Structure 1
């Protein structure tokens, strides 16, 4: 008897150690659990709270499952209580139905509040002017346009730290999903639509960005570098691109639209109204999160 108790305690200890290792050491490797921006932090907290609430049911069920298998295993001289006519317990019914119902209600309230708080088109509170970046998903590359700076890049995104970034997202290719895991959640890039997403990097660093939808042969190559810099470094980079990079012409853009992979490229200029032209390329457009004034800029007639 003493030996069996010692074995059970040992198993519980090993399980505890494995749980701690899984939730701490792996957190640095799983980038969604290592946020670098206010949106990603709130999303991480939502995942952790959800996991803990679900664990209230899942962990006891797993432990009881293992215990029942061990306790009522077939063996000689088994002394487990045998009750073939037992069929109901009000107390147990209240426990295994009541606790999950309470947890589901708590998850519902938390999720609804988080959904409204993390609405992608909702501007971030800041005393700094947001930076606008227009994102276009191409086969199989990403085009980033900086309308205020007048420059564009392929597969490279640079942003200043602690500055809200307003992404306007569309696609001139099959639908994709724009994703920078350490800064925030995904936003779909779709032809004929201009989606709005607000993110921010809280510190200088290099981050990974990617397309999160399968879009064909070279889908695995559709990732991009994200670098958060100081404001001074960002301004210097903009100046370097303006003085040392070629212009992106309309013919050059048509070549980029063709299905192909690409290395990092920078452009000192791009055609005026290129993003609006892309959004309205296939006819009427739809805009998510844009104000009426901003949406007014995106019209098929004007883009032509």
Structure 2
């Protein structure tokens, strides 16, 4: 028996199929990693199999309508009263069961593959990144590198990444369509998701779970770069990015839309939101009359500050919670 959250990577199929007609750029069909290709294989199998069913059903429908249509020679025909056909009853009961089995077997196989490091990367040590969702932003903590980012995450190309997912408050859904399926983030719980980017580039990630007015624009970017470029970025962050204080972190968790932020330490020293005994940060009083427009800002982030100091005034503007702000002045992405 498999756990409920094992189904989460495949729930991405529903929004893709429903919304694909609204967007010509169907990222799921252009995978940039082995996990996404595994899911695409399942999608393609399902589409072909369901198309076959549709063709057969509509073909039979047309044949039956034509064969038993009203004609002058049968206008007075009265069919005899019959008990029915046991054979036909068995057939049209068995066919849906076989269809479900044909879809279930590859689905279960794919689900279990997605819970492990992708094939071909088993001998490469994964890096661990803790993902914390908050309304309406994504916080990425690197426990091994001792740094933290907001609304963007850098990863080395060709290296398995073990994302440890949790939430500071409400439940969200972590999804990078080009790299893999989605999984939920829940407070006081931790789920895991393995992803690999085998192409350098920048990929959009988003929240697909409705959890308030700002969820639709709760986006982030995944930047896949060479190992050398990744190592250099880590060194630059540790040298130039400001320190995150516990007070600033709690402010950051309030329901706001922020741009990109970078810090030379992380919040794991104060709180692990996946711990059952951790505090929940939901700030219900701040959701009333909430009018943040929800956008991802394109200005450079705060990684490099003048004189190496955090611009507290600018951060305070980001965190301002008057319920009428349009996003304020952001040091953001």
TM-score if structure 1 supplies the norm length?
0.73
Q: What residue is the counterpart of 2:279 in the other structure?
A: 282
CA-CA distance at 1:103 after TM superposition: 2.6
Matched, 1:192 2:188: yes
CA shift in 2, pair 1:278/1:46, >3 Å: closer
Q: Is the contact made by 1:208 and 1:224 (CA closer than 8 Å) also made in structure 2?
A: yes
The alignment partner of 2:123 has SS state of: coil
CA shift in 2, pair 1:89/1:135, >3 Å: same
CA-CA distance at 1:242 after TM superposition: 2.0
Matches within 5 A, 1:260-299: 260-276=256-272, 279=275, 280-282=277-279
After superposition, give the CA deviation of every residue in 1:67-116 in whole Å (9 maximum; x if it has no partner): 55566666x86889967349656776565444433332222322332232
Q: What residue is the counterpart of 1:5 in the other structure?
A: none
Q: Of Structure 1 and Structure 2, which has the larger fraction of its residues in helix?
A: 1
Match 1:214 to one of 204, 210, 216: 210
Q: What residue is the counterpart of 1:132 in the other structure?
A: 128
Matches within 5 A, 1:93-104: 96-104=92-100
Structure 2: gaps spanning 5 or more residues: 1-20, 281-333
Structure 1: gaps spanning 5 or more residues: 1-24, 284-304
The alignment partner of 1:177 has SS state of: strand
Matches within 5 A, 1:1-304: 29-66=25-62, 68-69=64-65, 84-85=79-80, 96-119=92-115, 122-124=116-118, 125-276=121-272, 279=275, 280-282=277-279
CA-CA distance at 1:259 after TM superposition: 1.1
CA-CA distance at 1:28 after TM superposition: 7.4
CA-CA distance at 1:244 after TM superposition: 2.3
CA shift in 2, pair 1:80/1:33, >3 Å: farther
The alignment partner of 2:190 has SS state of: strand
The alignment partner of 2:213 has SS state of: coil
CA-CA distance at 1:134 after TM superposition: 0.6
